[in-house]
Amino acid sequence: MAFEPKRPQKTYTYDDVRLFTDEELKNYTAEEEKNFKIKHDIPLLEKLESGPWPSFVADAKRYALRRRKLGEEGKLLISPDVVEDLLGQVELSFVHGETHWKHGGIVGVIGYGGGVIGRYSDLAAKYPGVAHFHTVRVAQVPSKFYNTAFLRGLADLWEYRGSGMLNLHGSTGDIILLGTFTEQLEPLFQELTQVLDVDLGGSGSNLRTPECCLGKARCQYALYDTQEMCYEMTMHYQDELHRPAFPYKFKFKFDGCPNGCVASIARADLSFIGTWCDDIRIDQDAVQGYINGEFPPGGGSHSGKDWGKFDIYAEVIDRCPTGCMSLEGGELVIDNPNCTRCMHCINTMPRALRPGVETGVSLLFGAKAPILEGAQMSVLVIPFMKAEPPYDNVKEMINKMFEWWMDEGKNRERLGETIQRVGLQRFCDIMGLPPAPQMVKEPRTNPYIFWKEEDVPGGFERDINDYRSRHAR
Amino acid sequence: MALSKDRLGRFNPDKHMEGRVTDIGPRHYWQFFPPVIQNNYGKWAYHEILEPGVLVHVSETGDKAFTVRCGGMRFMTVDFVRELCDIADRFSDGYVRFTTRNNIEFIVDSLEKVEALKAELAKHTFAIGGSLKFPVGGTGAGVTNIVHTQGFIHCHTAAVDASSMVKALMDGLFEHFTSMDLPAQVRVSMACCLNMCGAVHCSDIALLGYHRKPPAIDHEVLHKICEIPLAIASCPTAAISPAKTEDGLKTVKLKVERCMFCGNCYTMCPALPLADGQGDCVVMMAGGKVSNRISMPTFSKVVIPYLPNNHPLFPEVVEATKQVLNAYAADARKYERIGDWAQRIGWEKFFEKCNLPFTEHLIDDYRLAYDTYRTSTQFKYTEAAWAVTRAAEGEE
């Protein structure tokens, strides 16, 4: 498997980078944990401490204890009260039913225009520990595999220079370090890049940190190398990621197959979804295995309820959205040219059916959440493209699109909205692509075609006298 | 090279470009793969879910990767991170991964290691309250972890808190996290305002914080902190126009009947806050999905226009979610997602079976609304249809 990082990768153990000793890491007893009271009353939050699901309140309270003790020893650069003050402010937010974070705050690191989101409390006098509560987005490893050396190093750094509270992960995919003061932003950045060997993610009107599914690492359906492509595109577009120059945010997401586990079709301005263009591979013996009940359908995904004996007609053949499957002489037959690769038969009989071997990606453009004028999903624009390193063909398409969007897009207009404003045909024209019925669910129902002058014999210049020579007023 | 303990670390404010490293991007993924993943990269043949939360992936080489999936809090502390690292160091060779839906996965290469890992995970509970730290589940035809946004933990536009609602909801749906007894997977998502960081608009069940009062106008500072033309242009319904206060300060005025409470103006102008504890609420949407399986990806539809923002346990939200889930579980066919089910039985039947009132708020009146109106005589009779008949005096 091709393994070519774009730069030498640092390897380190936790001992190489650590800030805290073992004693400092285990600085409280179970007894102290049980008896610990934080400095604010939080009766509403405490209602979230029971129940089976992991309790973020219990976690935060426990951590507040550790922080208070470290603070007393002068071992933290940010207020030891930050967790207690956060819980206090959230409690008051519950009472008010309103958030207590102020709007905005332009902070960041030198040379970057994104990666840090400024945040200030509107109750700074009452909760001074969260007076500043800036977020730092750190680029996640594509598909979010980690070793403990990296996570422990990050934990030490963030405990020392920040609140010690974080998200694994934020909605876009980054590691989100929640809450530090302005003074520590620059030092944090330098420790991240120079010691932990990792960069900030995107925020603002730039390329957001690209995200991919786990792909070939642990999935038989990966139709291209999602990690590799995600990594390559992330590295190639570092400038776009760190220095906002776009009309608005822009997201790449990489789904390995049409199952869409990273939801690229709903969330990404440019969605890469793996597909194939040859025949589904069939293992007829395994098909019989499913029919005979030797293998659980769906890899056992429905085993919690008795759905009866597997019925290949009811569960697969009759559920095929294109009706392109049949059983002939005991053999499963697929009319491949009429298959739309929805994955249902493959998902249901994973041992018997596998996608084809001629694989590539579909490129879909324009998804976004509702702000401003309603949600949009990505539109299929390029049905099939080979996706092999160094992905020059794909980069060429992306560059064309960026150049046009930066020129044509209005302030705070997502790509999908620009496409909606100018029309899909204009977008295809810019991209140098011919129109295709695959791009639409159905042709237009109105005939309001914006004919161009060159389309019509004689052009648009009219002579009213000529017209009147045939028609009286 | 160790992390620095100096107050400003490696940053020299007088020479801020000194030693600076930029644009290095993320870590490369390969070194973070456990050996069984490295050795079988791209060679996986098939997988099976052995029990809720435990998967086996079988390689063409014959190797097997066993995954134990645990529900996770996306908001956590470094203490929690270290605890999961301790488990990973002892049981999965120091490797751990996170899923798109904030689950935590430990990958090992034998069934014996799975059993040891599961036994260990079950021991980890919080000293306060006793919640599990690593509940195993979230696979197959069940409810997996709820993706969500920041809420009151960090966001300035939140209409409702997120972490608390998700905790309360996952407690309520826990039996579906640890089992696989639904017709198909149910993806629940939560966003604390219409910005929908994380895009919950294509989920089987989506819960959305929503403002219901127009912005309050802070006339005193608006002219100082806002670009007035930008604030005006930000409004998709042209409800905002320029104005002057009695004291002659430049400001804006609102046509409140045009406001759809999207909050875009507040994003552009901090002097136009929408948050209001009395007015803010939760909207439930249902029937969306991103997968292409059988049917095409679809948007979620609004099915409950208002649920109270009852922090921190949100009993009405939990009840309503169970109501929809139970109706779906009882009636849908195998492999049918909530949206597929609603589509097959008809949305009128969806409201009847879920016992949800259909109110005027559920009929679209924004752009392209007409596309959602029914232009056919094909409908099914439910009580709602007879209410129309009676109102029209169409029967005795």
| Sequential pLDDT tens for chain B (396 residues) | 999 999 999 999 999 899 999 999 999 999 999 999 999 999 999 999 999 999 999 999 999 999 999 999 999 999 999 999 999 999 999 999 999 999 999 999 999 999 999 999 999 999 989 999 999 999 999 999 999 999 999 999 999 999 999 999 999 999 999 999 999 999 999 999 999 887 789 999 999 999 999 999 999 999 999 999 999 999 999 999 999 999 999 999 999 999 999 999 999 999 999 999 999 999 999 999 999 999 999 999 999 999 999 999 999 999 999 999 999 999 999 999 999 999 999 999 999 999 999 999 999 999 889 999 999 999 999 999 999 999 999 986
Token pair 């997201």: residue: A251
Whole-angstrom CA distances from A442 to A103, A342, B298 are 44, 19, 16
What are the chain A neighbours of B180 within 8 Å (beta carbons)?
300-305
Going by C-beta distance under 8 Å and a sequence separation of 6 or more, which residues neighbour residue B254? B214, B215, B217, B239, B240
Could you report the predicted ipTM of this complex, rounded to two decimals? 0.96
For residue A3, what pLDDT is reported?
62
Q: Check CB contact under 8 Å for A300 and B50.
A: yes
In the three-class reduction of DSSP (H, G, I as helix; E, B as strand; rest coil), residue B93 is classed as: coil
Nearest-CA distance from B344 to chain A in Å? 13
Nearest-CA distance from B29 to chain A in Å? 6
d(Cα B144, Cα A224) in Å, to the nearest integer?
26
Contact between B342 and B324 (Cβ < 8 Å)? no
Q: Check CB contact under 8 Å for B28 and A187.
A: no
Q: Check CB contact under 8 Å for B27 and A9.
A: yes
Question: Encoding tokens for residue B172?
Answer: 């309520």
Q: Chain A residue closest to B155 (CA)?
A: A101
Q: Check CB contact under 8 Å for B74 and A195.
A: no
Nearest-CA distance from A389 to chain B in Å? 15
Nearest CB to A111; choose among B22, B96, B270: B22
Q: Chain A residue closest to B202 (CA)?
A: A266
Q: Check CB contact under 8 Å for B141 and A304.
A: yes
Crossing angle of helices A185-194 and A148-161, in 10° steps, is: 160
* Angle, vertex CA B136, rays to CA B134 and CA B142, nearest 5: 130
Q: Write down how long chain A is.
A: 473
Listing DSSP states for A418-431 in one string gives HHHHH-HHHHHHHH
Q: Chain A residue closest to B72 (CA)?
A: A54
What are the chain B neighbours of A373 within 8 Å (beta carbons)?
236, 367
Q: Which residues lie across from B373 on neighbouring strands? A: none
Nearest-CA distance from B113 to chain A in Å? 18
d(Cα A207, Cα B185) in Å, to the nearest integer?
31
Nearest CB to A59; choose among B79, B171, B299: B79
* Angle, vertex CA A247, rays to CA A246 and CA A252, nearest 5: 55
DSSP state of B145: P
Query: Peptide bond before B312: cis, by omega within 30 degrees of 0?
Result: yes
Nearest CB to B85; choose among A9, A61, A148: A148
Contact between B272 and B309 (Cβ < 8 Å)? no
What are the chain A neighbours of B155 within 8 Å (beta carbons)?
99, 101
Nearest-CA distance from B326 to chain A in Å? 14
Question: Encoding tokens for residue B186?
Answer: 């149910």
For residue B199, what pLDDT is reported?
78
Question: Encoding tokens for residue A466?
Answer: 């000529």
Q: What pTM was computed for the model? A: 0.97
What are the chain B neighbours of A283 within 8 Å (beta carbons)?
none
Residue A52: exposure state from Cβ atoms within 10 A (0-12, 13-18, ≥19): middle
What are the chain B neighbours of A195 within 8 Å (beta carbons)?
1-4
C-beta pairs of B366-375 under 8 Å, 24+ apart in sequence: B366/A374, B366/B260, B367/A373, B367/A374
Q: Which residues lie across from A200 on neighbouring strands? A: A138
Going by C-beta distance under 8 Å and a sequence separation of 6 or more, which residues neighbour residue A194? B1, B10, B19, B21
| Cα-to-chain-centroid distance, residue A179 | 22
What are the chain B neighbours of A372 within 8 Å (beta carbons)?
236, 262, 264
List alpha helices for chain B, DSSP H. Answer: 35-39, 78-91, 111-123, 163-172, 174-177, 219-225, 228-233, 264-268, 315-331, 338-345, 347-354, 383-391
For residue A1, what pLDDT is reported?
45
Task: Show the 3-state SS of A198-261.
Answer: CCECCCCCCECCCEECCHHHCCCCCCCCHHHHHHHHHHHCHHHHHCCCCCCCECEEEECCCCCC
d(Cα A122, Cα A82) in Å, to the nearest integer?
15
Q: Check CB contact under 8 Å for B264 and A54.
A: no
Contact between B201 and B195 (Cβ < 8 Å)? no
Contact between B82 and B133 (Cβ < 8 Å)? no
Ordered per-residue pLDDT tens for chain A, 473 residues: 456 788 888 999 999 999 999 999 999 998 999 899 999 999 999 999 999 999 999 999 999 999 999 999 999 999 999 999 999 999 999 999 999 999 978 899 999 999 999 999 999 999 999 999 999 999 999 999 999 999 999 999 999 999 999 999 999 999 999 999 999 999 999 999 999 999 999 999 999 999 999 999 999 999 999 999 999 999 999 999 999 999 999 999 999 999 999 999 999 999 999 999 999 999 999 999 999 999 999 999 999 999 999 999 999 999 999 999 999 999 999 999 999 999 999 999 999 999 999 999 999 999 999 888 789 999 999 999 999 999 999 999 999 999 999 999 999 999 999 999 999 999 999 999 999 999 999 999 999 999 999 999 999 999 999 999 999 99
R_g of chain B, CA atoms, integer Å: 26
- Looking at residue A265, its amino acid is I
Nearest-CA distance from A110 to chain B in Å? 8
Question: Encoding tokens for residue A408?
Answer: 């044509």
Within a 10 A sphere around the Cβ of B102, how many other Cβ atoms? Answer: 25
Q: Chain B residue closest to A222 (CA)?
A: B42
> Residue B108: which H helix or E strand, with range?
strand B104-108
Nearest CB to A97; choose among B72, B202, B277: B277
Q: Chain A residue closest to B266 (CA)?
A: A103
C-beta pairs of A100-104 under 8 Å, 24+ apart in sequence: A100/B152, A101/A133, A101/B152, A101/B154, A101/B155, A101/B156, A102/B156, A102/B270, A103/B156, A103/B266, A103/B270, A103/B273, A104/B156, A104/B270
Question: Encoding tokens for residue B238?
Answer: 């042209």
Nearest CB to B127; choose among A18, A33, A141: A33
Q: Chain B residue closest to A87 (CA)?
A: B153
d(Cα B13, Cα A390) in Å, to the nearest integer?
39
Contact between A101 and A133 (Cβ < 8 Å)? yes
| Cα-to-chain-centroid distance, residue B199 | 7
| Cα-to-chain-centroid distance, residue B41 | 30
Nearest-CA distance from A401 to chain B in Å? 22
Q: Check CB contact under 8 Å for A194 and B197.
A: no
Q: Check CB contact under 8 Å for A94 and B50.
A: no
What are the chain A neighbours of B153 within 8 Å (beta carbons)?
86, 90, 178
What are the chain A neighbours of B275 within 8 Å (beta carbons)?
98-99
What are the chain A neighbours of B47 within 8 Å (beta carbons)?
219-220, 299, 350
Contact between A222 and A354 (Cβ < 8 Å)? no
